[in-house]
Amino acid sequence: MACKKRADFQEALALCETAGYEVVATVNFCKKPHPATYITPGKLEELKATIKEGGAEAVIVYGNPKPSQFYRLKKELGVEVVDRTSLILKIFELHAGSKEAKLQTELARLKYELTLAREYVRRVKMGEQVDFLGPGEYAAKYVIKAIKRRIKKIEEELEKIRTMREQQKLRRVKRLRVPEVAVTGYTCAGKTALVNALGKLNLKEGPEMFTTLAPKHVRVSVYENGLYEAIFIDTVGFIEGIPPQILEVFHATLAEITYSDAAVLVLDGSEELSRALDKLESSLATLAEIGFIGKPLVIAFNKIDLVDDYEEKVLEVDDWARSLYPWTWGTVPISAKKGTNLRRLVIESVLAARGARNIKEPETNVCGKGAC
């Protein structure tokens, strides 16, 4: 595995493990990408020696080389080359369960492969020998046409699914008349664990990355001097620098976040503070990119059962969130695993969402089957 920054190693290793790769060696390269092979000549020779010594069958480049760099790198190394986008797509392919998730993942893969196929044609026209897509320019052009046809068909199917989801959402909002809160955050922060705990569900959780690719809805009610109720939506996890192919094809799924009344951003509080703040900043950047702006955001500082004296970390996270996103409602320390502070999180989330919807607070005490 080749990594550009040392800070990327932990995340890259987790992605490799989730995708089913056994990492036998790592090579760090810190300089700017080489224009020809992405990796500098010196590091390229080091990588060749590492492949020979470790018997590696593939090289994971934790970056996104241009198609021209990808081909040169593959030619130089003589083994399979997998870049960051392809690595993430492999994980999505493993975890895609719903029809929509499978179609979205296939669409992202096809658009990724289309750029490589076009580069292949360009190289064949220049007289190069490239062992990809079969023999010759004609075969490559045929594959490109087939990819485009499949892309068009998938996009039509996804448009039908998107329309159906919007209709379902309108019916749900009209019928239930409760706010919707999207549960967001960096992958492996504990989003699905939180939704499971809130709804007493058994959705698949980590430790693998990107276990959730399709939104899941759960209605949650809390009685405490009134009724606090909302639909919480489990959504796909974020990662720093989400490849544009993935953002594009998962737009309809991510729209569940954009059109929600409020969002809960789950942070892994057991990580070092600097890393947690980096992931918070990255997640907020992704929210801005998909159009979640000006709506209330509650930070769920998760896994406090693994942290001693977490209060100072919570304050720093809250200050950092407010400086980056002025509409931050507040930060609630929780443990999805232990159930700690989940009632408070629901209440704060509902209050935030009501503010966005301009829904009045309950004026009378309401008690249900549970305690008030």
359 appears as a binding residue in the annotation: no
Contact status, residue 280 vs residue 247, Cβ threshold 8 Å? no
Q: Rounded distance, CA 46 to CA 353, Å?
A: 54
Tell whether 115 is in a known binding site: no
d(CA 17, CA 164): 36
Annotated binding-site residue? 212 = yes
Q: Is 124 annotated as a binding residue?
A: no
Q: Is 49 annotated as a binding residue?
A: no
Does 282 carry a binding-site annotation? no
The 10 Å CB-count burial string (b at 16+, else e) for 154-188 is beeebeebeeebeeebeeeeeeeebbbbbbbbbbb
**21 is an annotated ligand-binding site residue:** no
* 242 belongs to an annotated ligand binding site: no
Q: Report whether 335 belongs to an annotated binding site.
A: yes
Q: CA-to-CA distance for 166 and 353, rounded, in angstroms?
A: 20
Q: Which helix (H) or strand (E) holds 256?
A: helix 251-258
The answer to whether the annotation marks 325 as part of a ligand binding site is no
191 labelled binding-site residue: yes
127 among the known binding-site residues? no
Do the annotations mark residue 303 as ligand-binding? yes
Look at strands 27-28 and 2-3 and give their pairing: parallel
Contact 54, 25 (CB under 8 A): yes
235 among the known binding-site residues?
yes
Q: Are 181 and 359 in contact (CB under 8 A)?
A: no
Residue 83 is assigned to a ligand binding site: no
- What are φ and ψ of residue 62, in 5° steps? -80, 70
163 is in an annotated binding site: no
In this structure, the strands spanning 58-62 and 80-83 are parallel
200 is an annotated ligand-binding site residue: no
Q: 180 is written with which tokens?
A: 């919707």
226 contacts 316 by C-beta, under 8 angstroms = no
Radius of gyration of the chain (CA): 23
- Is 349 part of any known ligand binding site? no
Q: Is 186 annotated as a binding residue?
A: yes
Beta-carbon contacts of residue 227 (< 8 Å; ≥ 6 apart): 221, 362, 366, 368
CA distances from 129 to 13, 117, 122, 125, 145 (A): 33, 14, 11, 10, 21
Spatial contact of 264 and 298, defined as CB atoms under 8 Å apart: yes
Helix 99-125 to helix 84-95 angle (10° resolution) is 150
Asked whether residue 331 is marked as a ligand-binding residue, the answer is no
Binding-site residues, in ranges, read: 185-192, 212, 234-237, 302-305, 335-337
Q: Which residues are documented as binding site for Mg(2+)?
A: 192, 212
Known binding-site residues for GTP equal 185-192, 234-237, 302-305, 335-337
